[in-house]
Homo-oligomer: A and B are copies of this chain.
């Protein structure tokens, strides 16, 4: 291996001045979002897909979706042709004739742009575009030093900073962790501010109450200008149906708020098979499609052309305890099929992510993550929330897992780029140069491709065992622990106009002063 070690070393020395030198940067792969260059992995036949779609139509037409506490949404659907049955004074069952929802969704864009305050970080969502965003919604955070505890606004800010520093993520996400030290009715203000202040990427706004959705959008009007916001998507809300087959008023009113402002929304059924959905994948998919399609349709009734994202979060359960399980094979298959269904509907898709039930950033954590995340990228999902940090069945956001996942996201940049087949990459001349038995270290072909041929990990150890052992013999989680601390220590906030910052802070101060703290 002497030759191997020497040739590249010479080149590294020469290029050192041009590169940051920091591991894991992969400048040749840097993009504001990924444009997938490999085909999707399509596992279901046309016939199977048609059967799932037909069952989704039957669910919408024969069982219906229940709406609660939002007569305005019910009125919109009634006007569009839905069959409405009043269940109580504030709940309704809505049935949709076959094809009705699909027809309503025809005005939804197949691909749209979400603007970031730094235009270089603006992302596209749909088609062959893919966007990685941090995990979302954990009440707890954990790291190897302090273990598991409730998340705080400081943790939240830390994760926004770590995401901003990662060349492998594209979006700042939303509720990266719950900042439980801030009142529930005020924390959305601090979260949106953190995304704006500590990141210059696109992000998600609040969905926990319609007025919090409005606040989130209003802060974007301060940042981007009201006219720009009216004409462009600058924020999105991530909404959950109440499975099976219910959309509550908080959700539908929030969806209407985003759509009315021309902003994006994601429509996610969280389907735990056997609990809130059939536990067979075909049934989970039909239900997921029905729920997400109806939820998406709200946006088009409010404002035709408003961006909306079909979504899927199909999970399994332990046969022993009944607990939800993540990163298992059956939901990975369902994700692949969901990609096919979304393309047939011509809507962008949010799907899967780096899911795990492990309580540590260990072998289980990354094995499960990989099984889930590979399905996300192979199915052609366009917006992949939960791309970094997910542990403990989504109950905890892990600092170390965030680093490991973000590194994996880097590998996926190389994976999704595929490889070219042409005279240069076929390398016949390089092989012919030396012929049988001759190494290729010093061929022009090797020297020309050396810096960009392979993805460069920031945390994996590729050293000989002896070197690794001499350096302490630490595992990947321990390296990730050192890395997030080093990253936070090196973090520099992106520039933000002072006047803008003051205006945002004034808005927050005023809003907070308007209401007493509430913890629900």
* Residue ranges of A at the interface with B (Cβ–Cβ < 8 Å): 1, 4-5, 7-9, 12, 23, 38-39, 41-44, 47-48, 51-52, 55, 58-59, 62-66, 93, 140, 148, 242, 244-246, 273-284, 286-287, 316-325, 328-330, 332-334, 357-371, 374, 378, 392-393, 395-396, 404, 408, 411-412, 414-415, 418-422, 424-428, 430-432, 434-441, 445-446, 449-451, 453-457, 459-465, 468-469, 473, 475-477, 480
Whether B365 contacts A440 by the Cβ 8 Å rule is no
Given known A-B contacts A279-B450, A283-B431, A419 and B65 have beta carbons under 8 A apart = no
Q: Which residue from chain B places its CB closest to the CB of A140 in the assembled complex?
A: B465
Given known A-B contacts A323-B464, A419-B280, A41 and B41 have beta carbons under 8 A apart = yes
Q: How far is the CA of A432 from the CA of B64 in the complex (A)?
A: 9
A477 contacts which chain B residues (CB < 8 A)?
362-363
Given known A-B contacts A415-B332, A435-B63, A440-B278, A465 and B319 have beta carbons under 8 A apart = no
Q: Which of B66, B283, B364, B395 contacts A366 (CB 8 A)?
A: B364
Whether A275 contacts B66 by the Cβ 8 Å rule is no
Whether A418 contacts B371 by the Cβ 8 Å rule is no
Whether A465 contacts B396 by the Cβ 8 Å rule is yes
Q: How far is the CA of A63 from the CA of B419 in the complex (A)?
A: 25
Closest Cβ of chain B to A455, distance in Å, is 5
Q: How far is the CA of A422 from the CA of B325 in the complex (A)?
A: 25
A456 contacts which chain B residues (CB < 8 A)?
318-320
Whether B275 contacts A439 by the Cβ 8 Å rule is yes
A419 contacts which chain B residues (CB < 8 A)?
280-282, 330, 333-334
A358 contacts which chain B residues (CB < 8 A)?
460-461, 476
Give 7 closest A-B pairs by Cβ, nearest first.
A283-B427, A278-B427, A370-B370, A66-B436, A245-B436, A48-B421, A364-B476
